A and B are shown apart, each in its own frame.
Chain A
Amino acid sequence: KQEVTQIPAALSVPEGENLVLNCSFTDSAIYNLQWFRQDPGKGLTSLLLIQSSQREQTSGRLNASLDKSSGRSTLYIAASQPGDSATYLCAVEGNEKLTFGTGTRLTIIP
């Protein structure tokens, strides 16, 4: 059974810093990995999707990498802003279904 872990559960950093969020998974037989953002009381917003054949994807200040063989993905956020404060979830797809991590709650301190 696929298990997805995100450590740490919470992270606080000063505004302007670059930061990395981590995601690890136990079964490397995945089709893709997706990073989401969730604001309090809201739904999930898709940030980046990396297909299994890709190593990274970039969107603006966000860069996500994927290392299938080691079962790891990272989400890099450059020049963090207070508006980046949210919970970040990663999810891996296998057999038409997503398995989610429990997320990292990120707080950017002005």
Chain B
Amino acid sequence: NAGVTQTPKFRVLKTGQSMTLLCAQDMNHEYMYWYRQDPGMGLRLIHYSVGEGTTAKGEVPDGYNVSRLKKQNFLLGLESAAPSQTSVYFCASSYRSAGGPNEQFFGPGTRLTVL
């Protein structure tokens, strides 16, 4: 049981390049999330998904796109990277039952630098 995994762990891009970050979970969780973490800002939600085939915007969605074609995978895309997107990106997943807690489990993160 690997939990939540993220690929790649590190990446350096030039301004204007594109890339996709992959998140995978093997816990059969319905909900998946993408966050970014910046110094002094805490974690901020980019996009999330409440089930296969669904996506929704979070607090800071501009410049990012997501897809949830399979329940276990959640992809985060940057179409034209900008230096402001230099950050550490975390994926999380959770199992949500009616009236139950929404405990989120996090991946190890992807450190992205945009030059």
Contact = CB atoms under 8 A, between A and B. Distances in A.
Chains A and B bind each other: yes
Interface of A: 4, 31-32, 34, 36, 41-46, 49, 51, 89, 91, 93, 96-98, 100-103
Contact of A98 (B4, B96, B104, B109): B104
Contacts of B104: 34, 46, 91, 98
A100 B106 contact: no
B102 A102 contact: no
B28 to A, nearest CB: 17
A102 to B, nearest CB: 4
Interface of A is mostly: strand
A43 B109 contact: yes
14 contacts: A4-B42, A31-B101, A42-B108, A43-B4, A44-B92, A45-B106, A46-B105, A46-B106, A96-B31, A96-B96, A97-B58, A98-B104, A102-B42, A103-B42
Interface size class of B (residues with CB under 8 A): 20 to 34
Interface of B is mostly: strand
Given A43-B90, A43-B108, A100 B43 contact: yes
Contacts of A46: 103-106
A102 B40 contact: yes
A74 to B, nearest CB: 19
A100 B58 contact: no
Contacts of B48: 96-97
B8 to A, nearest CB: 14
B102 A93 contact: yes
A32 B102 contact: yes
Contact of B102 (A31, A43, A44, A100): A31
Closest 5 CB pairs of A and B: A44-B106, A100-B43, A102-B42, A100-B42, A43-B106
A34 B43 CA distance: 14
Nearest to B90: A43
B50 to A, nearest CB: 7
